[in-house]
Amino acid sequence: MEELQIIGGSKLEGDVSISGAKNAALPILCAGLLTSETILLTNVPDLHDVSTTIKLLSQLGSVTRKHGQNEVSITSNNIENLKAPYELVKAMRASILVLGPLLTRFGEAIVSMPGGCAIGQRPVDQHIKCLSALGADIKIEHGFVIARAKKLKGTLIRPDVITVTGTENIIMAATLAEGETIIENAACEPEIVDLSNMLIKMGANIKGHGTNRIIIKGVDKLHGTSHRILPDRIEAGTFLCALAATGGNIRIKDANPYNMLATIDKIRLSGVNVKQDNGNLICSMSKRPESVDVITREYPGLATDMQAQFMALNCIARGTSIIVENIFENRYLHVQELNRLGANITINGNSATVHGVDFLSGATVKATDLRASASLVIAGLVAQGKTTIEQIYHLDRGYENMELKLQKLGANIKRATNRNDE
Ligand code: EPZ
């Protein structure tokens, strides 16, 4: 099993380039199922979840090719299989994003129920409710969502909760439905805007993407296009939290600051100086960070995907902070690992109190989920001595070459193989 070994204490200095956004790449890859023509994607992050999605699309019959590290083409002109198997869906819940495209283009989709994950139950009831409202006949049998529809019909739809992939599934399904679909209570994330922008280039008729009310007028057919995936705002935010903790001076390149204003606002409160310069963030930190309170919200609020990283920063900040996680019911698995490093965090329901300590001390810890892994990396960068992070396949799901990017910034971090548990 691979692990990361970090010797803490180095400041971060230099340039780091942000990769394409995982949470845009996954729905956009699945949108390739909506046309028989070729989609060419650039700035695709080289991640485990992207590879899993490519494998799933290939199993369905798409000709999906990687051209170099960050370029992928998809041609779905010979889809023979409409079933997404449990093995792939359990490896990556975002596989549910093939449901809308397969259903609306082929009239049928059989997708394994994703099941829960470390951070929560992650139900898909709203995906099912809203696709049923579009006229799909959906039943759950033997752990699979079985959806059929001769032709989806546009209507007014309102998910009970604001759901990112739920909104994405509805948008994709509505692009080829008959008539107009209005989604109220839609999610507004930038990744949904990026998906919608690509669908519009494919010939879809979408308005209001990025707001809570999206209007889609169905069309007969979508055609091929090319698209560059937008920068990953969560990766950029992760490097901001790392800098806040270690101190130093970094330039974050290829970021889109306008998609991460809540994070930038919060990191400035911790004491980091952030300036924008044509899509780059010029950042410096020369003192111990101040504790910052964090309340996660749907976009444009502070992203739940940034909660663990801010918690790591707060562990060594001056003062006490309160973190409230409003999106997922179990997104504190990183707390016990951070406390193993000497942090002082207590949990009470969906809130955590973090008393800043003067220093953390290195230890062996284990990654439990994607963003928890990132928080352990940040903690390891400032802990005294050596921190070993096990089970880093969680990190590889959502960060492209994290340790190489940190090495270039001067961190003492390397990937190793732990032979004991092979
Ligand atoms: C997306 O997950 C992201 N994943 C997550 O990123 C992110 O944390 C999350 O949105 C919130 O921003 C991708 O985009 C691939 P939701 P998603 O549906 O769509 C409840 C990461 O670290 N809900 O917006 O699965 C749900 O339980 C990952 O990159 C229902 O009740 O999240 C949660 O409490 C982690 N029924 C809330 O809504 C449903 O049918 C928001 O979930 C759907 C969701």
- Output the pLDDT for position 115: 73
Q: Are strands 72-75 and 63-66 parallel, antiparallel or unpaired?
A: antiparallel
Residue 422 has pLDDT above 80, yes or no: no
Closest CA to 328 of 367, 387, 390, 371: 371
The answer on 273 and 340 residing in a single domain is yes
What does the pLDDT average to over 177-191?
98
- Same domain assignment for residues 220 and 324: no
Task: Look at residue 422 and tell me if it is in a domain.
Answer: no
Residue 118: pLDDT band by 50, 70, 90 thresholds? Answer: confident
Among the candidates 228, 260, 292, a domain finishes at 228
From 126, 165, 396, the mutation candidate for ligand 1 (largest count of ligand atoms within 8 A of CB) is: 165
Question: What's the confidence (pLDDT) of residue 279?
Answer: 80
Residue at a domain's end among 211, 228, 245: 228
Same domain, 224 and 236: no
What's the whole-number mean pLDDT along residues 166-188?
98
Q: CA–CA separation, 320 vs 257, rounded Å? A: 28
pLDDT of residue 91: 87
Q: Give kind and range of the element (H or E) at residue 246.
A: helix 233-246
The proportion of the chain whose per-residue pLDDT surpasses 90, expressed as a percent, equals: 92
pLDDT digits (tens, 9 = 90+) for 206-238: 999 999 999 999 999 999 999 999 999 999 999
pLDDT in tens, 283-340: 999 999 999 999 999 999 999 999 999 999 999 999 999 999 999 998 999 999 999 9
Assess whether 38 and 105 both reside in one domain: yes
Assess whether 34 and 159 both reside in one domain. yes
Read off the pLDDT of residues 58-110 as tens digits, 9 standing for 90 and up.
999 999 999 988 999 999 999 989 999 999 888 899 999 999 999 999 999 99
CA of 300 from ligand 1 middle (Å) equals 15
Atom of ligand 1 nearest to the CA of 165: 19
Are 180 and 41 contained in the same domain? yes
Residue 292 lies in a domain: yes
98 among the known binding-site residues?
Answer: no
Residue nearest to atom 10 of ligand 1 (CA): 164
Domain CATH code at residue 128: 3.65.10.10
| One domain, residues 272 and 201 | no
Across the chain, mean pLDDT equals: 96
Are 116 and 15 in a shared domain? Answer: no
- 72-75 and 248-253 as β-strands: parallel, antiparallel, unpaired? unpaired
Mapped onto helix, strand or coil, the DSSP state of residue 82 is coil
Residue 29 within a domain: yes
Number of domains present in the structure of the chain:
2
Q: Give the residue numbers spanning the domain of 130.
A: 22-228
The answer on whether 123 is annotated among ligand-binding residues is yes
Which comes out higher in pLDDT, residue 365 or 330? 365
Region 392-401: what's the mean pLDDT?
Answer: 95
Residues 212 and 261 in one domain: no
Question: Per-residue pLDDT for 421 more than 70?
Answer: no
**219 and 259: one domain?**
no
Q: Which residue has the higher pLDDT, 121 or 179?
A: 179
Residue 158 confidence (pLDDT) above 70: yes
Share of the chain above pLDDT 70, in %: 99
CB 279 within 8 A of CB 260: no
117 is catalytic: yes
Mutate to test the pocket of ligand 1, among 89, 111, 122, 212 (most ligand atoms within 8 A of CB): 122
Q: Is residue 7 part of a domain?
A: yes
Is 243 found in the same domain as 169? no
Query: Of 152, 140, 206, which is closest to residue 179 (Cα–Cα)?
Result: 152
| Shared domain check, 158 and 236 | no
| pLDDT surpasses 80 at 420 | no
Residue 312's pLDDT is 98
C-alpha dihedral, 12 to 320 to 338 to 252, nearest 10°: -30
CB-based pocket (< 6 A), ligand 1? 22-23, 26, 94, 120, 122-127, 161, 163-166, 187, 304-305, 327-328, 370-371, 398
Predicted pLDDT at 119 = 85
| Active-site position among 30, 117, 241, 283 | 117
Last residue of some domain: 207, 228, 249?
A: 228
- 256 within domain boundaries: yes
